[in-house]
Structure 1
Amino acid sequence: MNLRFSLDEPESFGSLPRQLEAARTVAKLGLAQIFKEFTPVLAGTIPLAIDLPESDLDILCFAPDLRIFAAHCQKLAPKLTDYRERQMVLRGIPSFVESGRFENFELEIFAQPVPVPEQWGYRHLLIEARLLKLVGEPLRLRIIELKQAGLKTEPAFAHCLQLPGDPYAALLELETLDDEQLRELIEH
């Protein structure tokens, strides 16, 4: 599956009202230009149309040097309310998160010294997109229902598929399955 959610291609965000609003917000903030050298990609629930009204815009970036990335974040900071940044180590990988609010969206810009296609958030996006394509509207509505009940996205998918263990890791185990194998898993 060749999905692209590049900030340079806002039409790839989708055509639903919330997706179009996300594209306008990305353009207004100039995110494609600010983070151009970090291959920014929109991830999360909005491009999959499983978002809630309070869902944030999740943007993934590849930043070989997190200090340089943090300096770029300062270009965006004055445009956001409730601006925050934090450094952490996730699953052994140094990570940087910038967050804040702009108009109708909470933004979270996440960077690691790992190419975006190898980051867990992007890999989750791809497998979730495949599952939604295979199952369609019933799965999409069930995921939204579970999210409204308080589950995060990956645990909601794991619940629907009855995946044991860590839902984030369990979803990634599905990456190697072809569509027929995924259909069999879904049917059981």
Structure 2
Amino acid sequence: MTVNFKNIDYLKTGNEVQRKTYRLLHDYQIVDCLKDYDPIVVGTIPIQIDVAGSDVDIILYVQDYDVLERMLCFNFSRHAHFQLQRAESNVILCSFSIEERLFEIYATDKATENQNGYLHMLKEYEIIQLRGEEFAEQVRRLKRSGIKTEPAFCRLLGIEGDPYTELLLYNHIDNSMSYD
């Protein structure tokens, strides 16, 4: 099954966490506020490998950082745990909570469909589609034990090296090994 992750409508009919995420994004007009920045919801919730406490990750494409910072402050600073920082000259990080769900926004001057957060999610989704629900549950189990998503995938797939780089290079045709 192919999912258009660039349009949040798929969340409307997903699992309970996805439906709540959609409701929050819609009711609090989060995606509407971010629409000029090509937002994509990425991470574990879209591909159903989230665990308790997983946040909603949103990536953005930005050209004018000052304008984005002002917009984020104006629209989201009233929410609990609001934080905004320009981590580097080309990255803005913003986080806040709504109804006990943490939202994390990552903005950079790279097109959203070329950002690693999106590319990792697509690769992880592809692997889950090939390996099935049992594999997805093994990823969730590792995540509950404290292992981050990409390292969990790499451990199960027998991939060595930097998990954030190597996962993107993973080719299921060349690597049809068992994950048991």
TM-score by length of 1: 0.87
* Aligned-residue CA RMSD (Å): 2.0
Task: Name the structure 2 match of 1:147.
Answer: 143
Q: 1:148 to 1:25 in 2, by over 3 A?
A: same
Structure 1 segments, 4+ long, off by >2 Å, are 1-6, 75-79, 179-182, 185-188
Counterpart of 2:129 in structure 1 is 133
Could you tell me which runs of 5 or more consecutive residues in structure 2 were left unpaired when the two chains were aligned: none
- Tell me the equivalent position of 1:12: 10
**1:123 match:** 119
Q: Read off the aligned partner of 2:4 and give its amino acid letter.
A: R
Match for residue 31 of structure 2? 32
Contact 1:29/1:79, CA 8 A, preserved across alignment: no
Q: Which of the residues 155, 160, 166 maps onto 1:170?
A: 166
Per-residue Cα deviation, 1:67-114 (whole angstroms, up to 9, x for no partner)? 22112202322341011011224xxx8211100111031000110100
CA contact (8 A) 2:158 2:179 kept: no
**Residue type matched to 2:118 in 1?**
Y
Q: Mapping of 1:1-188 within 5 angstroms?
A: 3-6=3-6, 9-13=7-11, 15-89=14-88, 94-174=90-170, 177=171, 180-181=173-174, 184-185=176-177
Q: Which amino acid aligns with 1:58?
A: D
- Give 1:31's aligned amino acid: I
Q: Given that residues 95 and 103 in structure 2 are in contact (C-alpha distance below 8 angstroms), is that contact kept between their aligned partners in structure 1?
A: yes
Structure 1 SS opposite 2:166: helix
CA distance in 1, matches of 2:113, 2:29: 22
Q: Is the 8 A contact 1:34 1:75 kept in 2?
A: no
Deviates more, 1:140-149 or 1:62-71: 62-71
**For residue 141 of structure 2, what is the amino acid of its counterpart?**
E
Partner-residue secondary structure (3-state), 1:181: coil
Which amino acid is the alignment partner of residue 32 of structure 1? V
Change (3 A) 1:3 1:146: same
In 1: Cα distance, 2:79 partner to 2:4 partner: 26
CA distance in 2, matches of 1:156, 1:125: 13
Contact 1:41 1:60 in 2 (8 A): yes
Normalising by the residue count of structure 2, what TM-score does the alignment of the two structures yield? 0.91
Sequence identity percentage: 26
Task: Encode CA deviations 1:25-84: one digit per residue, 9 max, x unaligned.
Answer: 101110121111101111010011111120000001111222221122023223410110
Of residues 63-72 and 151-160 in structure 1, the stretch that sits farther from structure 2 once superposed is 63-72
User: Whose helix fraction is larger, Structure 1's or Structure 2's?
Assistant: 1
Q: Which runs of 5+ in 1 are unaligned?
A: none
Inter-partner Cα distance in structure 1 for 2:123 and 2:87: 25
